[in-house]
Amino acid sequence: MPYHSGFRPGLFDGQTIFIPGGGGGLGRCIAHELASLGARVILAGRSMQKLERSRDEITADGGTVLGCYTAELRDEAAVVELVQHILLRHGLVDGLVNAAGGQFPAKLEDLSLNGWNAVLHNNLTSYFLVAREIYRQCMRERGGSIVNIGADWVDGMPGMAHNGAARAGLSNFTCSAATEWGRNGVRVNCVIPGFIATTGLDRYPEKDWDSIRRVNTLVPLGRHGNAAEISAMVVFLMSEMAAYITGADFRVDGGIHNGAGSFVFVPGAPRNVRAFDGFHRDERPKMLD
């Protein structure tokens, strides 16, 4: 069974899209959907094993993966070289989906400087370096679309303040890049997922699993999201239909930022709430079983 996308077949025919983080989680799903719509995708990340798994899945489903690359995306020289190599080997790039990153829970009082810097470099510096080099080496002369995958930082992120700081910076970088690069036909947007049921949830400490399971009580729609619902927003922003959209954050979070109730309103049980399960190879986290 192929990817069940809501977008028209061939939407990205003839386009090449680079996806750092395409080996797992949201990046893997996004790569699958873009490839199913005709894009030639290029994947990068830390684990060649994960990248090759995505490549083999996409190829088996009839899509095209031009290459898989491991690189230290937090290192400027490595990113410059990687983008040079990709452009020389595969030609010009039409789109970039920045989906690499990583974080861990820690209270501020327990957080080391190394831990703080690691998450800022993972979730902000690497995004800047990849976007800058794609712009410098390719998109400045021909335009394109960039989508960053962020996180909701607006009310702070107690227990992961280092991640909150990085994601706030990413949203601001998105706005600045959209303004600086707009006259050259480059659109830059940021997608902010809510609590999404990917296997990444299983990496949180087991002591936190019950709290993550109960997140659905805080969501107006009463459930966790899935990877295909994030991918759908990314695909729209990458497409020609979003030609007049740039410099914006887009929450895909079931409304959790508004809360599910108040002191005068108690929500009932979810009714008529449906998910969009478009990703035919999706994997549910064990913690939600």
| pLDDT for position 264 | 95
Q: How much is the mean pLDDT over the chain? A: 96
| pLDDT tens-digit map of 229-285 | 999 999 999 999 999 999 999 999 999 999 999 999 999 999 999 999 999 999 999
Q: What is the pTM of this model?
A: 0.96
Measured distance CA(61)–CA(276) in Å, rounded: 20
Q: What is the set of domains in the chain, with CATH numbers?
A: 16-288 (3.40.50.720)
Q: Fill in the amino acid letter for 170.
A: L
- DSSP letters for 189-246: EEEEE-SB-SGGGGGS-GGGHHHHHGGGGGSTT-S-B-HHHHHHHHHHHHSGGGTT--
Mean pLDDT over residues 152-163, rounded? Answer: 92
What pLDDT score was predicted for residue 119?
A: 96
Q: What is the mean pLDDT of residues 213-220?
A: 93
Q: Flag whether pLDDT at 1 surpasses 80.
A: no
| pLDDT-wise least confident of 89-98, 101-110, 162-171, 181-190 | 101-110
Across 158-187, average pLDDT: 97
Average pLDDT of the segment spanning 89-112: 95
Q: 18-22, 167-171, 284-288: which has the minimum mean pLDDT? A: 284-288
pLDDT-based confidence at residue 102 (cuts at 50, 70, 90): confident
How far apart CA 99 and CA 26 sit, in angstroms, is 7
259: its two tokens: 């809360």
E-assigned strand segments in the chain:
16-20, 40-45, 64-70, 95-98, 144-149, 186-193, 249-252
DSSP state of 160: B
What is the average per-residue pLDDT within 50-78? 97
Determine which of 125-134, 187-196, 209-218 has the lowest per-residue pLDDT on average.
209-218
| Rounded distance between C-alpha atoms, residue 99 and residue 82, angstroms | 16
Q: Are 147 and 96 in contact (CB under 8 A)?
A: yes
Q: In which band, very low, low, confident or very high, does the pLDDT at 101 lie, cut at 50, 70 and 90? A: confident
